[in-house]
Amino acid sequence: MSWNQGGGPWGGGGPGPWGSGGGGRGFQPPNFEDTLRRLQNFLRRILPGGTGPGGPGIWVVGFAIVVLLWLASGIYRVEPDEEGIVLLFGAYAGKTAPGLNYHWPWPIEEAMTPTVTRVNRIEIGFRAGAPGRGGSVTDVPEESLMLTGDENIVDVNFTVFWLVKDAPYYLFNIRDPEMTVKAAAESSMREVIGHTEIASALAEGRAKIENDTQKLLQEILDSYGSGVQITQVQLQKVDPPGPVIDSFRDVQSAKIDQQTLINQSQAYANSVVPQARGDAARAVQEAEAYKAQIVLQAQGDAARFDSVYQSYKASQDVTARRLYIETLESVLKNTKKILIDKNASQSGVVPYLPLPGLSAPAPSPSAAPPPQPAPAAPTSSRGGSR
């Protein structure tokens, strides 16, 4: 039978499957009564007691439907960023992979699907406003004010990023994971800041503070068996408290000036002290050399005297004459000497003449001294001559 002649397979005598005639009544929902009647006929054929009001068939059908719905409630879905945890009578029974899975319905088994790949964020010391409200930041002084190792107060804002490392531990070992991570992070940061000087915390020590805090926080959470992995601890702000920040900057400027002067003094000392030490070492070495020279010279003189004395003891006459000759030689070798024979008086030589002056060569005319002016006549102090 064609659709335009008998209503088609959906009944109603319309020209097509979505309508009946030209009235345009639209889609007709399935007839629930007809479907229930067909189901009753099917059950009447397979159940001996029928499904009438007096028979047990309707109760069996209801129970079967309830059982089917109960069994169907065990179907669950695990998303790609989740991990399925199955509990058997409230105790951990195992894990399931992402996708469609099945477990025995409650109260036999129960499935939990915590997110394990999403990185969670916790703000400590401040609260960032919502993007739609201008993104203002609100300070929380009871969390941010901390005491440093040199007994100064700093205002610390930081953020902790974490994710679930072990889902069963995360679900069953800690009651409130976010508050636990927050409390442990604040405690870890306070301990690290308490061992750090304020100058280091404000300047080059920030990276060390982040690494030490992350390490200590992870150790604390692991000791709890929390199943949480800390991925990063990021400092947002490390400043002195607002009421004293100007005074603190003045103190830091004075400390910088002090350190500059100390460095300059040390540089000057490093240039002067080595030079003084070098001069002192050189003076000591010169004194040692002079000492060695004098000692060796004295030792040589003593040895020479001993050798002369031994020679003198061996032959006193010869040694005495030799010493006499050597002494005369040392005395007379640099003097001008004129030897006169003892018979020179017979030849007309007068011994008292200045013989050395006569033996000197006569000066040349060019080398003659200039004539001296005649001295003036003496005058008395009263202006007359005497």
Query: Residue 213 has what pLDDT?
Result: 92
- Among 162, 243, 251, 237, smallest CA distance to 199 is for 251
How far is Cα 262 from Cα 348, in angstroms, rounded to an integer? 94
DSSP 137-165: EEE-HHHHEEE-TTS-EEEEEEEEEEEES
Retrieve residue 334's tokens: 């640099």
The label of the residue with tokens 């790609």 reads 80
Task: Flag whether pLDDT at 258 surpasses 60.
Answer: yes
What is the rounded average pLDDT for all residues in the chain? 74
How far is Cα 285 from Cα 268, in angstroms, rounded to an integer? 26
Domains of the chain in start order, with CATH, are 33-72 (no CATH), 75-112 (no CATH), 120-239 (3.30.479.30)
Phi, psi values for residue 273, rounded to 5°: -60, -45
The label of the residue with tokens 């088609």 reads 8
Helix axes 57-72, 32-46, angle to 10 degrees: 110
Query: Residue 284 has what pLDDT?
Result: 93
pLDDT digits (tens, 9 = 90+) for 152-167: 888 889 999 999 888 7
Q: Are 127 and 133 in contact (CB under 8 A)?
A: no
Q: What angle do CA 180, 216, 226 make, to 5 degrees?
A: 35
Averaged pLDDT, 272-294 = 92
pLDDT digits (tens, 9 = 90+) for 203-216: 888 889 999 999 99
The label of the residue with tokens 């300059």 reads 264
- Among 198, 207, 208, smallest CA distance to 249 is for 198
Q: Are 349 and 342 in contact (CB under 8 A)?
A: no
